Amino acid sequence: MKKLGILLLISFCLLGCQPRDEVPTPEKVSEIEISKSYTFDEQLRYEIVKSTVTNKIEPTNKNNTYRSIKPKQDENQFIDVVLKTKNLSKKEYVLKDIYQGTFVINHQSYKASLAIENLKYNQISQTDTLKEDEERYIHIYCEINESNIKEQANLKLKIRNKEEVQYNFSTLQEPEVIQTQKSVGDSLNLKDSHITIDEILQTQKIEPSNKGFFYSYHPTDNDNETFVALKIELKNTSEHTIDPSEYIYCIYTINQQTIQSQIIIESDNHKSISTTGKIEPLETRTLYLAMPVKNDLLKDTGKIDMFVEGNTFEILGTQD
């Protein structure tokens, strides 16, 4: 019996010294921030451009033909996070193979939907793909009843179904948008163009710079309106034709009203104007981005935002 006890003790000691499988510690999920660039496995580069609560998902450059995604129910809103995403690989990715996400709001989870803007940033699709070397805006959003929206929100994001990150943000603040301020006289060197900001005008009609004895002009539609017009010089530095109506766009915000721009193009000799036209490679044309404003609003100060190549520029300057 004594020998049996000794054997049991030795066995217990030996077994107790065997290595044990440790319970794995959950990996800490990295937190990403707005305006910072991140890279995943030499496949994708991504950056949060903005986060907002909105009643529609729409492209950055809202030209005259754009379409938006609207809630299924009138009392619902979208929580929308936009990521600038660059495909670094030689593959073409469908949206669900790029991102998968879940929003957590007030301890409730909402599966994220995806939509992608086109290369001109003026249309949006839920079925388009991100092709080799392309950089596009991808909207990650959920639809939620407005009464359920709380101040703090969290987006849990899985990239290429592998890396997990999260983004914490407030839903009650003004939309977080990374914006660059530019002034009259400034120039912009963009991927496809060089733009010079000439002036901001207040006028009831847009006229060509070089008026002859006979010339055409573009008036406001109503006598009680005045154009607030941003005059720019745009040089096409690309190898393809630029259609200004699809390339550049402005809005004028005043007293919580948003006014969309009309685009008016001067001829190459500056003697006539047109609401249609294209800019050939290496050609420079004068453009007016004209926003008709009710005269009774002109006593207040408004804000001009210009959208081009996926960028948002706030234009500063006095109106002549």
* pLDDT class of 26 with cuts at 50, 70, 90: very low
Domains and CATH numbers, the chain: 30-177 (2.60.40), 180-316 (2.60.40.1240)
* pLDDT class of 180 with cuts at 50, 70, 90: confident
| 50 beta partners | 82, 177
Closest CA to 294 of 210, 204, 185: 204
pLDDT above 70 (res 255): yes
pLDDT per position as a tens digit, 88-111: 999 999 999 999 999 999 889 999
pLDDT at residue 317, rounded to an integer: 79
pLDDT at residue 115, rounded to an integer: 98
Q: Please report, for residues 78, 196, 282, the alpha-carbon distance to residue 253 in angstroms, rounded to integers and kept in the order given.
A: 22, 22, 33
Q: What percent of the chain has pLDDT over 70?
A: 89
pLDDT at residue 303, rounded to an integer: 94
Q: What does the alpha-carbon distance between residue 48 and residue 35 come to, in Å, rounded to a whole number?
A: 6
Q: What does the alpha-carbon distance between residue 232 and residue 245 come to, in Å, rounded to a whole number?
A: 14
pLDDT above 50 (res 170): yes
Torsion angles phi and psi, residue 234, rounded to 5: -120, 120
pLDDT per position as a tens digit, 195-222: 999 999 999 999 999 987 788 899 999 9
- What pTM was computed for the model? 0.75
pLDDT above 80 (res 20): no
Q: What does the alpha-carbon distance between residue 223 and residue 214 come to, in Å, rounded to a whole number?
A: 23
* pLDDT class of 179 with cuts at 50, 70, 90: low
Mean pLDDT of 278-282: 97
For the range 31-35, what are the long-range contacts, defined as Cβ-Cβ under 8 Å and sequence gap of 24 or more? 31/165, 31/166, 31/167, 31/168, 32/157, 32/165, 32/166, 32/167, 33/167, 34/167, 34/169, 34/176, 34/178, 35/178
**To 5 degrees, how large is the angle CA 47–CA 176–CA 58?**
80
Q: What is the mean pLDDT of the chain?
A: 88
